[in-house]
Structure 1
Amino acid sequence: MAALSVCAGTAAAAPAPHATSAPAELKSALDGVHRAGIPGVYAEVRDAGQVWRGASGVADVRTGRPVRPDMRQRVGSITKTFTAAAIMQQVEQGRIRLDAPIGDHLPQLVPGERGRKITVRMLLNNTSGLPDYIRHAFPSLQDMSPKSLDDNRFRRFRPAELIGMGVDAPPASEPGATPGVYSNTNYLLLGQLLEQVTGTPAEEYITRNVIERAGLRHTGFPTGPRIEGPHSRMYEALWGLIDPPRDYSVYDTSWTGTGAALVSTMEDLNRFYGKLLDGKIVNRSSLAQMQRTVPVIALDGTTIDYGLGLHKVAIEGCGTFWGHDGTVWGAGTMSLTRADGKRQMSVAVNLQRWNEPGSSGAPRPHPIDDALKAFYGQAMCGDTDARPRPAGDAGEVSTR
Structure 2
Amino acid sequence: MPNTLDPSELDAALENVHRAGMPGLFAEVRAGDQVWRGAAGVADVATGRPVTAGLRHRVGSITKTFTAAAVLQQVENGEIGLDTPIGHYLPRLVPGARGDAITVRMLINHTSGLAEYLPYAYPALRAFPDLAKTGPESFDDHRFTRFEAADLIGMGVTAPAAGTPGGTPGLYSNTGYLLLGELLEHVTGTPADKVITRDVIERAGLLDTELPSGTHVGGPHSRLYESWFGMIDPPRDYSEFDMSWVGPAASLVSTVADLNRFYRKLLAGEIVDRSSLAQMQRTVQVISQEGKLIDYGLGLHPVDAPGQATFWGHGGTVWGGGALAVIRADGERQLAVAVNLQRWNRLDSAGVPQPHPIDQALAAFYQVAMYG
Corresponding position: 1:199 with 2:183: no
Which region of structure 1 is more displaced relative to structure 2, 144-153 or 193-202? 144-153
The 1-side partners of 2:307 and 2:327 are apart by 16
Contact persistence 1:18–1:318 (CA under 8 A): no
Which residue is equivalent to 1:9?
A: none
- Percent same amino acid among aligned pairs? 65
Q: Report matched runs for 1:293-332 at 5 Å.
A: 293-332=283-322
Corresponding position: 1:69 with 2:37: no
Q: Could you tell me the TM-score, scaled by structure 1's length? A: 0.90
Contact persistence 2:345–2:355 (CA under 8 A): yes
The 2-side partners of 1:34 and 1:138 are apart by 31
Q: Report matched runs for 1:122-137 at 5 Å.
A: 122-137=106-121
Where relative contact order (Cα < 8 A, 6+ residues apart) is larger, the structure is 1
Which residue is equivalent to 2:65?
A: 81
The 2-side partners of 1:263 and 1:82 are apart by 12
Q: Which amino acid aligns with 1:299?
A: Q
Contact persistence 2:55–2:255 (CA under 8 A): yes
The 2-side partners of 1:322 and 1:281 are apart by 15
Which residue is equivalent to 2:256?
A: 266
The 1-side partners of 2:237 and 2:42 are apart by 13
Contact persistence 2:3–2:31 (CA under 8 A): no
Contact persistence 1:131–1:170 (CA under 8 A): yes
Contact persistence 1:103–1:115 (CA under 8 A): yes
Secondary structure of the residue aligned to 1:319 is coil
Corresponding position: 1:351 with 2:341: yes
Q: Which amino acid aligns with 2:325?
A: S
Corresponding position: 1:213 with 2:181: no
Contact persistence 2:108–2:177 (CA under 8 A): yes
Shift of 1:213: 0.5
Q: Which amino acid aligns with 2:295?
A: D
From 155, 162, 176, give the equivalent of 1:165.
155
Secondary structure of the residue aligned to 2:310 is strand
Cα 1:19–1:204 shift into 2, 3 Å: closer
Which residue is equivalent to 1:380?
A: 370
Provide Cα deviations, 1:195-245, integer angstroms capped at 9, x if missing partner.
Answer: 000000000010011000001000001121001000000000011110000
Q: Which amino acid aligns with 2:197?
A: T
Q: Which amino acid aligns with 1:123?
A: L
Provide Cα deviations, 1:148-206, integer angstroms capped at 9, x if missing partner.
Answer: 11011000000001101100110000000001100000000000000000000000010
Aligned length: 366
The 2-side partners of 1:111 and 1:305 are apart by 29
Corresponding position: 1:151 with 2:141: yes
Corresponding position: 1:90 with 2:74: yes
Which residue is equivalent to 1:187?
A: 177
Shift of 1:99: 0.6
Contact persistence 1:75–1:328 (CA under 8 A): yes
The 2-side partners of 1:300 and 1:42 are apart by 24
Contact persistence 1:39–1:59 (CA under 8 A): yes
Shift of 1:336: 0.3
Q: Which runs of 4+ in 1 moved over 3 A?
A: none
From 91, 101, 105, give the equivalent of 2:85.
101
Corresponding position: 1:28 with 2:18: no
Provide Cα deviations, 1:344-363, integer angstroms capped at 9, x if missing partner.
Answer: 00000000001111122110
Which residue is equivalent to 2:43?
A: 59
Shift of 1:18: 2.5
Provide Cα deviations, 1:319-353, integer angstroms capped at 9, x if missing partner.
Answer: 11100000000000000000111100000000000
Cα 1:198–1:19 shift into 2, 3 Å: closer
Give the gaps of 5 or more residues in structure 2.
127-132
The 2-side partners of 1:120 and 1:141 are apart by 28
Secondary structure of the residue aligned to 2:322 is strand
From 63, 83, 105, give the equivalent of 1:121.
105
Which residue is equivalent to 1:287?
A: 277
The 2-side partners of 1:19 and 1:121 are apart by 35
Q: Could you tell me the TM-score, scaled by structure 2's length? A: 0.97
Q: Which amino acid aligns with 1:367?
A: P
Contact persistence 2:225–2:235 (CA under 8 A): yes
Shift of 1:21: 3.0
Shift of 1:19: 4.8
Q: Which amino acid aligns with 1:82?
A: F
From 165, 168, 181, give the equivalent of 1:178.
168
Q: Report matched runs for 1:228-247 at 5 Å.
A: 228-247=218-237
The 2-side partners of 1:19 and 1:98 are apart by 37
Contact persistence 1:221–1:263 (CA under 8 A): yes
Provide Cα deviations, 1:108-152, integer angstroms capped at 9, x if missing partner.
Answer: 000011000000000010000001111111111237332211011
Q: Which amino acid aligns with 2:135?
A: S
Secondary structure of the residue aligned to 1:250 is coil
Q: Which amino acid aligns with 1:230?
A: P
The 2-side partners of 1:165 and 1:362 are apart by 28
Corresponding position: 1:39 with 2:19: no
Shift of 1:56: 0.1
